[in-house]
Amino acid sequence: MGARHPGAVTESAADASTVAPADAQALAQPNPPPRPADDLPTMTNETTQADLAAAAFDIADYEDMSAAELRIKTPDTGASTPILINIAGPEHPARKRIAQERTRRQRAALQTSGRLQLDDPEDDDEIELGMLVASTLGWSGLTMGGQAVPFSAQEARKLYADPKRRWLRDQVLAGLSKRELFIRRSAAAS
């Protein structure tokens, strides 16, 4: 028999229902009442339906956008730059198409072999690069070597594939994951 740990149930048959004293105290105390989330009113005798209506959140006040502008920051200090990259949101047709194609490939492989097949890391990198290129809809303020870089899918691919510019690729990839970039107050809420 090993050393007994505080709060452990004893092991002998005679003590099978015995709980360590520290646990018995914890079990005897009632659960505290749930705390209200943030500062929203909870239903009490003093709370009226009007109070709850005033605190209501109408989901129609917000809507998804198909694209957003991402402000690029310097990799060393995080200061804003004049570079804006227009990126496709999760509901943008190009992004949805890429995600659905990958899901279809994975499902087909699973149906064929009965096993989930993982992509090679190099394939994952190429898939990510393709998704970044397809999700980049344009840019402004981007210069390299003092020259403006006009937007094209080919230029985006070159830029995101450049190992010296991985910091830029990572910022765009992170931006694609920021759902809040692609949500705005709806016209009905204004």
**Global confidence as pTM:** 0.65
Judging by DSSP bridges, how do beta strands 183-185 and 147-148 pair with one another?
Answer: unpaired
Nearest Cα to 68, choosing from 32, 43, 99, 95? 95
Tell me, what amino acid is at 54?
A
Separation CA 180–CA 65 (nearest Å)? 10
In DSSP notation, 17-36 reads: T---HHHHHHHHSPPPPPPP
Long-range contacts of 58-62 (CB under 8 A, 24+ apart): 58/189, 60/186, 60/188, 60/189, 61/185, 61/186, 61/188, 61/189, 62/183, 62/184, 62/185, 62/186, 62/189
pLDDT tens for each residue of the chain, 190 residues long: 444 444 444 443 444 444 444 544 544 555 555 555 555 555 565 666 666 666 678 888 999 999 999 999 999 999 999 999 999 999 999 999 988 988 898 888 888 888 777 777 788 889 899 999 999 999 999 999 999 999 999 999 999 999 999 999 999 999 999 999 999 988 776 6
Grouping H, G, I as helix, E, B as strand and the rest as coil, residue 110 is helix
Separation CA 56–CA 49 (nearest Å)? 10
pLDDT of residue 73: 98
